[in-house]
Amino acid sequence: MKNVPEMYGSLVFNDKVMRTKLPKDVYKALRKTIEQNTHLEIDVANAVAVAMKEWAVENGATHFTHWFQPLTGFTAEKHDSFISPTENGGVLMEFSGKELVKGEPDASSFPSGGLRATCEARGYTAWDPTSPAFIKDGTLCIPTAFCSYSGEALDKKTPLLRSMDALSKEATKLLRIIGNTSVNSVMTTVGPEQEYFLINKEDFKKRRDLVFTGRTLLGAPAPKGQEMEDHYFGMLKTRVSEYMKDLDEELWKLGIPAKTKHNEVAPCQHELAPIFDTTNVAVDHNQLTMEMMKKVAERHGYVCLLHEKPFAGINGSGKHNNWSMTTNTGVNLLDPGKTPAENTQFLVFLAAVIKAVDDYADLMRLSVASAGNDHRLGANEAPPAIISIFLGDELTAVIESIEKDEFFHTSEKVSMEMGAKVIPHFTRDTTDRNRTSPFAFTGNKFEFRSLGSAASVAGPNTILNTAVAEILSQFSAKLEGTPEDQMEKAVHDLIRDTIIAHKRVIFNGNGYSDEWVQEAERRGLYNLRSTPEVLPKFLDQKNVELFTKHGVYTEAEMNSRHEIKLEKYCKTLHIEGKTMLTMLYQEFMPAVLKYTDSLAASIAVKKSVAASISCASVEKKLEKLTSLYEELAVLTDKLDVLVAEAESMEEDLEALSFFYHDSVIPAMEAARATADELEVYMPDEFMPYPTYTDMLFYV
């Protein structure tokens, strides 16, 4: 057994290393930058760079890279070596403060959504000292933000950091107004639970759909799916367990606190959850976790599938974004606390989150929209597309008593500590769970469950932080100037009014039921089912105002992001359509023909022996398969025509996204249905690629 405390963070330039490697004054200056977001002087940067390089070289690194998160959804890196030639023909290992702080990658091939003309290819990466540098594959990776020559964000991290600042500013201000003067900053915390599939590398390589799109576009269900519920939390197979151990170790070395692991509902599906961290660190860690999941899989003869819906008919993969707010004094603002005063503070912030989710439900939905996630949301395996909040029984009762100006009765005692019906006293309720809610209160945090497994968690958190910051600023505006002796009543009224105005978004029932869809419609909640439907909402006036007011996105940045999202949706479907066509035309249909030919040949041979031999059952099968084949040929040609039509439509992206959704997807589904019906009759030896049975039950 390896020494975990020794291994943990051994590849991270963390606080412990900094403290030992940096001169005292440099360490202090850097901590100040990290904690208070102050500017870093170049001489400090130089000293940090020297220490960082020394540490990296000691740990086997030869290169460094600015590690960033462009709008592709993946991470990007360009490696430079530390070597610098000397006069006598040797080399020195060098790294300067300038190289640490700023990079200038050629940015022309990253998506910019029209923000940066390709001729103006320069982009900047700027060091984010709040996320620690680490060593990966012999390269020192420096987490950075990525922006254009003119300063527009071209990445996911910059707006996220801006949204964290906005929330910190507004939360601190409100806390001071309601009498909590000890707080200087508020950070948001995130713990993302990550689901994934593992399949054999050999199978993966034989399936063009998995190789090109990450999901199966064809495939009849295996005789057994997940109906026996025998996989969830089931015993880990030895090989899977070896993989998970190896993965844990790689993550621990990178200072990623991987904590829990277990089998998920679907066969071959698993989950990993880390201990939560500051949001931007959690986002970086989640990106690294996904990368490591894939890399470690290779070593074990697996491929890790992070697509939201790799297999039809069994659960897809999501990512639960556990989110809260913590003060610099260490108080979790979503923890009800032990005293009525703590309860008050908690209820103000709870009310703000409720209002934020109701006012910006369109953005919340948008933040999880993608072609892949469209297969999950609302498919009775993940929360519906309707955004609502689960509070649990006790908290709902608390809220109701506030709404009605009644006393709140806890199970043990009537709480009247304050002698007034102002703020009820209650303690944390930990009992109930509701798996069907998109946004559930779980005792001291909210769990946003609609996220897909493949996407970065930066986007949803940027939106959540900004929306909550906005409501906190509205609350401050309402309460500011209230005399101290009237503050308690003013806060109570604010909470009550907010609850009355926004309780429509609270729903504790079964989110998978049809009744909820109807009820939500009566309540006037959004039910934005598909990505093309939701994406245009980003540019609604109220949303532009939100992001520009808090300095999270400029309007130009919003336009660019909108275009990139549309483009990504359309490109994904284009690739899916084309991949399906090649599989049908080049692999599956020829295989069916070969099989039907062999049936025909078998009939002919039998008849040649004696014309009287009955071949009725073979003939019947041949007839059935031939007619299905004809049907499939027609459907495939139809899909071919539609994909070609889409290719000619590329100038209007919004129209194109609807065309894919309304025409191409149904054509793909129709062709698949017939192909899958045919597949059931296909002997293994005629199948050109592994089946669901091969992929899901022989791992």
The residue of the chain with the least Cβ separation from ligand ADP equals: 191
Q: Identify the three-state secondary structure at position 606.
A: helix
What is the identity of the amino acid at 646? A
Dihedrals φ, ψ of 183, to 5°? Answer: -90, 135
Q: Which does 682 bind (CB under 5 to 8 A by kind): Mg ion, ligand ADP, none?
A: none
Q: Which does 276 bind (CB under 5 to 8 A by kind): Mg ion, ligand ADP, none?
A: ligand ADP
For ligand ADP, give the closer residue by CB, 18 or 282: 282
Considering the complex, what minimum distance in angstroms separates the CB of residue 428 from ligand ADP? 12
In whole angstroms, what is the distance from residue 644 CA to residue 666 CA? 15
**Is 116 or 320 the residue whose CB approaches ligand ADP more closely?**
320
A 10 A CB-CB count for 677 gives 15
Q: Nearest distance from residue 168's CB to ligand ADP, in Å?
A: 15
Q: What is the residue whose two structure tokens read 């039998």?
A: 606
Residue closer to ligand ADP, measured from CB, 130 or 527: 130
Toward ligand ADP, which CB reaches closer, 193 or 470? 193
DSSP H or E segment with residue 66: strand 63-67
Cβ nearer to ligand ADP, comparing 110 with 323: 323
Size of the site for Mg ion (CB under 5 A): 1
**Among ligand ADP, Mg ion, none, residue 8 binds (CB under 5-8 Å by kind):** none
- Nearer of residues 233 and 698 to ligand ADP, judged by Cβ: 233
Q: Which does 180 bind (CB under 5 to 8 A by kind): Mg ion, ligand ADP, none?
A: none
Residues 517-556, one symbol each (x = binds Mg ion by CB under 5 A, - = not), give ----------------------------------------
- Binding to Mg ion (CB under 5 A) within 301-320 occurs at 320
CA distance 348 to 178: 9
Residue whose CB is less far from ligand ADP, 284 or 679:
284
Which residue number, 464 or 667, has a Cβ lying nearer to ligand ADP? 464
Residue 412 C-beta: closest distance to Mg ion, Å: 28
Task: Write each residue from 313 to 352 as x if it is in contact with Mg ion (CB under 5 A), else as -, in one continuous string.
Answer: -------x--------------------------------
Closer of 332 and 572 to ligand ADP (Cβ): 332
Q: CB 339 → ligand ADP: shortest distance, Å?
A: 19
Rounded Cα distance between 452 and 459, Å, is 12
Report the 3 state secondary structure along 478-534: HHCCCCHHHHHHHHHHHHHHHHHHHHHHECCCCCCCHHHHHHHHHHCCCCCCCHHHH
CB neighbours of residue 144 within 10 Å: 28
- Look at residue 134 and give the partner it binds from ligand ADP, Mg ion, none, a contact being a CB closer than 5 to 8 Å depending on partner kind: none
Min. distance of Cβ 162 from ligand ADP in angstroms? Answer: 20
135 forms beta bridges with 140
Rounded to a whole number of angstroms, the minimum distance from the CB of residue 331 to ligand ADP is 11
554 neighbors 548 (Cβ within 8 angstroms): yes
Which of 80, 106, 82, 108 lies closest to 95, judged by CA?
82
Longest C-alpha distance within the chain, in Å? 106
Q: Using CB distances below 5 to 8 A depending on partner kind, what does residue 191 bind out of ligand ADP, Mg ion, none?
A: ligand ADP
Please report, as ranges, the residues that interact with ligand ADP according to CB under 6 A.
Answer: 189-191, 193, 273-276, 322-324, 332, 444-445
Residue 190: which of Mg ion, ligand ADP, none does it interact with, CB under 5 to 8 A by kind?
ligand ADP
37 contact choice in ligand ADP, Mg ion, none (CB below 5 to 8 Å, kind-dependent): none
Nearer to ligand ADP, 269 or 543 (CB): 269
- Tell me which DSSP letter residue 588 carries: I
Nearest alpha-carbon partner for 165 in 537, 450, 473: 473
Residue among 260, 261, 244 nearest 296 (CA): 244
| CB 193, min distance to Mg ion, A | 5
Neighbours of 565 (CB within 10 A): 23
Classify residue 683 as left (phi > 0), alpha (psi -120 to 50) or beta.
Answer: beta
Helix %, strand %, coil % for the chain, to 5?
Answer: 50, 15, 35
Shortest distance, position 61 Cβ to Mg ion, whole Å: 36
Could you tell me the sign of the dihedral formed by the alpha carbons of 243, 245, 246, 247, in that order? positive
Query: In degrees rounded to 5, what are phi and psi of residue 41?
Result: -70, 150
Residues binding Mg ion (CB under 5 A): 320
